């Protein structure tokens, strides 16, 4: 993507009422105005669902369209990517979808305790090298952050093409005594996957499928 195109998208994001772009200082200082007040932002008391590392926002928009009784928020630091999802939501008048430009590591400062009902992690970088373990979105530190914002019965969904990430996460969950509600190492060949896992595909997922890579899925709880 050219730099001019990126700048154009950044500028357009600033005009979208479904895009929130706080500064890091604003978030870490505890001055982020929406923390604990997301239902006020949406104007209803519906459950809040997050997509972490939302990319182009396919899942955020797709889930919002399918589930009008819930509110969906995509989080990514790359605003030029989720511009597509934010613009689509506006064009199609999908009022229950929004986007935050922020680092995922700040998630527990963007949302309050018990404010979130569900989390989706779609095709994250598996960070295979050992020294990158701290950046894996299902490592113990991140699971604790999710636990701090999820409701008691809240769930986390991991959809990935990485067999490494799938195995690493299952091992960590079992080792920590956390409840795995569902696990599938090839969702398009094995029966039983939820419809939202099969019906919504990201830009990168379609590329993986063309190459014949199996897509894996885990649904679990962190408390």
At 222, list the tokens. Answer: 């962190």
Secondary structure (3-state) at 154: strand
Taking the C-alpha atoms of residue 124 and residue 217, their distance in angstroms, rounded to an integer, is 12
Task: Kindly name the residue from 17, 76, 114, 125 that is annotated as catalytic.
Answer: 125
Taking the C-alpha atoms of residue 17 and residue 8, their distance in angstroms, rounded to an integer, is 17
Tell me whether residue 125 is one of the annotated catalytic residues. yes
- Show the DSSP H helices in 29-160 as ranges: 38-42, 58-66, 79-91, 107-110, 140-149
Q: What is the distance, to the nearest Å, from the Cα of residue 16 to the centroid of all Cα atoms in its chain?
A: 20
**Taking the CB of residue 81, how many other CB atoms lie within 10 A of it?**
21
Name which of 185, 132, 178, 125 is nearest 156 in CA terms.
178
At 3, list the tokens. Answer: 């730099």
Which element (helix H / strand E) includes 119?
A: strand 116-122
Name which of 59, 67, 89 is nearest 201 in CA terms.
59
Provide the CB-side half-sphere exposure for 63 (13 A, CA): 26
Annotated catalytic residues are 125
């Amino acid at each position: 993507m050219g730099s001019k195109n990126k700048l154009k998208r950044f500028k357009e994001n600033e005009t979208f009422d479904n895009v929130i772009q706080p500064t890091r200082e604003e978030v870490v200082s505890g001055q982020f105005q929406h923390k604990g007040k997301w239902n006020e932002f949406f104007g209803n008391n519906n459950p809040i669902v997050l997509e972490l590392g939302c990319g182009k926002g396919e899942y955020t928009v797709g889930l919002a369209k399918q589930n009008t009784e819930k509110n969906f928020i995509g989080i990514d630091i790359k605003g030029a990517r989720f511009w597509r999802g934010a613009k689509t939501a506006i064009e199609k008048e999908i009022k229950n979808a929004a986007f935050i430009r922020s680092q995922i590591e700040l998630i527990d400062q963007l949302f309050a305790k018990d404010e979130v009902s569900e989390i989706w992690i779609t095709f994250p970088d598996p960070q295979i090298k050992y020294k990158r373990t701290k950046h894996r979105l299902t490592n113990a530190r991140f699971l604790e952050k999710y636990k701090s914002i999820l409701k008691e019965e809240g769930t986390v969904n991991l959809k990935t093409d990485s067999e490494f990430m799938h195995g690493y996460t299952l091992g960590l969950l079992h080792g920590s005594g956390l409840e795995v509600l569902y696990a599938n190492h090839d969702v398009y060949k094995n029966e039983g996957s939820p419809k939202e896992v099969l019906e919504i595909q990201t830009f990168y997922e379609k590329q993986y499928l063309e190459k014949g890579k199996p897509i894996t899925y885990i649904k679990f709880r962190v408390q």
